[in-house]
Structure 1
Amino acid sequence: MMTRPHTTVVLAMSADGKIADVARSAPKFTSSIDFAHLERQVAIADAVLFGAGTLRAHGSAMSIRDSQLIAQRREKQKPDQAIQIVCTRSGVIPSDIRFFQQNIPRWLLTTEKGATSWQNNSQKPFDEIIVAENSAGEIDWEETLKTFKNKGIERLAVLGGGELIADLFTREFLDELWLTVCPVLLGGKDAPNPIEGTGLSLDNAQKLHLLSVENIDQEVFLHYQVIHHDSVS
């Protein structure tokens, strides 16, 4: 039995592998079909995890609006909305964004330093603040995911950005990957990729198993299982 949630990355990218333009603005190259796909994946999850950069770009969380998806969650005795967890080492999040007005459960994952201003906020904008910091002042992901599991999060959806996904990827904490390939080219060596960080050598590359591929209109939906090194014979 895993001591962490089943973790799925859900991303849309340009045909040249960019998840945003060079200005890191919120991507507007996806279709309504991809939006509905994203909403379905969020509805499956107990919680959604994303970085502060992703939140700053969008200004809001991916809440569930489809009444049928909400009804399905209720049938499974789940709350209407998945927990929305923003991850930030610094704790710097604009307080005037729509995220704080949405009717959703909000958690903060941060360091001791990042938690300070929010713990002292009398309005209590976060339902829960989780501090999980290692000796280097970074997020301790093993401890974090164990905490999520202990708090009842069985399925976790990760929506970006590339640095956060890289942290989970290099530690082999990812189980599935949904990629929507959109018919647009962005270019730019500084435009963000699905996985940032230092990367892996070819010898250590993480293998994927293609579960499904679907072409709808001009977009391609790819679904992969992540093959962990300890499961390869």
Structure 2
Amino acid sequence: MRVVVNAATSADGKLSSKRREQIAISGPDDFDRVDALRAGSDAVMVGVGTVLADDPHLTLDDPDRQVARRERDVTAHPARVVADSRARTPTDARILDDEATTYVFVAEAAPTERIESLEAAGARLVTAGEERVDLSSALSSLEREGVEQLMVEGGGELIFSLFDSGLVDELRLFVGSKLIGGRDAPTLADGEGFVADFPELELEDVERVDDGVLLRYAVE
């Protein structure tokens, strides 16, 4: 499986404000680029924090891309994936509608009643890890379902965990011309942070998009 992390940050590396509210960092050209990347992926993944903060839909915007996927004999929208150790995803979240298949990764410690509620709401549950989701094991399960390219859209805790587990192949980062600030505002890679064995990135491409730049890195 190829794992591609895609994110947009402010010039000072923030994903959103300290209120963790969704902020428009990029513009229409980048939105279209993200939609195209989704269309070329088998599944799109976020952490539960993103679901709770933004209630994303994670489906394709462009009808032509939906048609093109059907012509390739795949579903109109890629599958959706939530990393959610404690099964906190609301049962009325937009990500659980019937537009696409949705997998929810949970840990063994997740409350049984929450798991049952999510299954009743249509989610496909994948249990991996005891207290926290074992991402390596969970992604292996997803690969067995036929997912060859996984696009990861955030947030910072999930992105850090994927890098920490050595699971990321590529980073596509849009850096916008906006300053957000705030020591409590989420960054691209939150979590515990690295103090040694820092992930090494190789810059492969730089492109101006909207009023910002798109950086494409390979992960060594």
With the shorter chain as reference, the TM-score category is over 0.9
Gaps of 5+ in 2: none
- What is aligned with 1:83? 79
Q: Greater CA deviation, 45-54 or 100-109?
A: 100-109
Conserved? CA contact 1:112–1:131, under 8 Å: yes
Matches within 5 A, 1:75-114: 75-101=71-97, 103-114=99-110
Distance in 1 separating the partners of 2:69 and 2:202: 28
Measured against aligned partners, the alpha-carbon deviations of 1:168-226 in whole angstroms (never above 9, x if no partner) come to 1011100000101111000111110110122223x522221222111123121111111
- What is aligned with 2:215? 222
Gaps of 5+ in 1: 228-233
- What is aligned with 1:196? 190
Distance in 1 separating the partners of 2:116 and 2:199: 42
Conserved? CA contact 1:51–1:160, under 8 Å: yes
Normalised to the residue count of structure 2, the TM-score between the two structures is: 0.92
* 1:54 maps to 2:50: yes
Select 1:174's aligned residue among 168, 173, 176.
168
Distance in 1 separating the partners of 2:36 and 2:114: 31
Conserved? CA contact 2:44–2:151, under 8 Å: yes
Number of residue pairs matched? 220
- What is aligned with 2:69? 73
Distance in 2 separating the partners of 1:122 and 1:190: 31
Q: Which amino acid is 1:40 matched to?
A: A
- What is aligned with 1:206? 199
State the superposition RMSD in angstroms. 1.8
Measured against aligned partners, the alpha-carbon deviations of 1:103-134 in whole angstroms (never above 9, x if no partner) come to 22111111234362344339722341101114
- What is aligned with 1:126? 122
Q: Which amino acid is 2:38 matched to?
A: V
Distance in 2 separating the partners of 1:226 and 1:122: 34
Q: Which amino acid is 1:226 matched to?
A: V
